[in-house]
Amino acid sequence: MTETRPASRAPIGAVGLVIGGLACQELGASFAVLLFPTVGALGMVTLRLVFSAIVLLLICRPTLRGYSRRDWLTVTVFGLALAGMNALFYEALARLPLGPTVTIEVLGPLLLSVIVSRRAASWLWAVLAFVGVALLSRGGLEELDPVGVAFAAGAGVLWAAYILMSGRTGARFPRLDGLAIAMAIGAIVTLPFGLVSAGTALFSPTVLLLGFAVAVLSSAIPYALELLALRRLTAASFSILLSLAPAIAALVGALVLGQSLTLVSTIGILLVVVASAGAVRSASRHARRQSGLSEPVL
């Protein structure tokens, strides 16, 4: 049976929702950078996770009874991956510009998609992505802190783990209950580190307000927009659009934080975007050939 979809104009609004969600995420990250001198990276992670957990718990009101020990182990690992991913990302962001940080981080999900596809052709996209990162490191950004690069790479690894655990948690918990519980676990884990790192500065009204804004921009709004978009886009099309994250991060970093990039660096980021989109589309084509369905219209 062939999948039908209206003319390509139909999902344009959904495309805008995804891009809007990505822009909100990177705008939230740029606001987080502005708070680093006051509360540090760990303090910022704590603010984001605590406020995100509060919002999700209030909206989802998850049931805590009726789950097995394995269910709780799964959601706990999910929460730890979420907390670690955010902590490493903000530690990288404290040392690197926004665009390069997201570009390096996205290598984790890209390699995961390549490994899962088990197709030799998919490795060509991985090679293209690493060429892009190599260009990024030589494009006038020689001052890239190697510790920051390591943090960004670690965030990418935990992003891949987050994706895997998200699927497993979603299979065991209804709706967004698993995400809400995992976010609460992540907030509890990071809270002591944030308190030690930031101290009383964490409770400043201005800091709390900006922290809440970061949580809303980085989590609440993107999740809502993505859920709306997924009602009108296929998973493959949605994943391809998410590949735009490094480019949007570089643009927001330039506009909000004044983090300019050279032409070579810009080309490197675009190569990673193309590689990510290509890997997703290649895997989608392979899966659809096996199922006998036609390709969706983006």
Angle formed by the axes of helices 221-230 and 235-242, to 10°?
140
In a domain, 268, yes or no: yes
Per-residue pLDDT averaged across 48-63, rounded?
91
Give residue for tokens 């891009």: 19
Nearest to 79 by CA among 117, 49, 119: 49
% of the chain with per-residue pLDDT over 70: 81
- Number of domains the chain is built from: 1
In a domain, 7, yes or no: no
As a whole number of angstroms, the distance between CA 14 and CA 20 comes to: 10
Per-residue pLDDT averaged across 100-121, rounded?
75
User: Is 39 within 8 Å of 197 (Cβ atoms)?
Assistant: yes
pLDDT above 50: residue 4: no
pLDDT above 50: residue 296: no
Per-residue pLDDT averaged across 71-93, rounded?
94
pLDDT for res 11: 60
pLDDT for res 3: 44
In a domain, 124, yes or no: yes
Query: What pTM was estimated for this model as a whole?
Result: 0.80
In a domain, 297, yes or no: no
Per-residue pLDDT averaged across 124-149, rounded?
72
- Sequence-distant (6+) residues with CB within 8 A of 29 are 93, 98, 102, 214, 218, 249, 252
pLDDT range class, residue 1, cuts 50, 70, 90: very low
- Sequence-distant (6+) residues with CB within 8 A of 228 are 14, 17
Pull the structure tokens for residue 108.
């984790």
pLDDT for res 100: 85
In a domain, 224, yes or no: yes
As a whole number of angstroms, the distance between CA 243 and CA 255 comes to: 20
In a domain, 6, yes or no: no
In a domain, 80, yes or no: yes
Q: What is the DSSP letter of 296?
A: P
pLDDT for res 5: 45
Nearest to 277 by CA among 230, 229, 242, 226: 242
In a domain, 296, yes or no: no
Domain that holds residue 250: 12-291
Mean pLDDT of the chain: 81
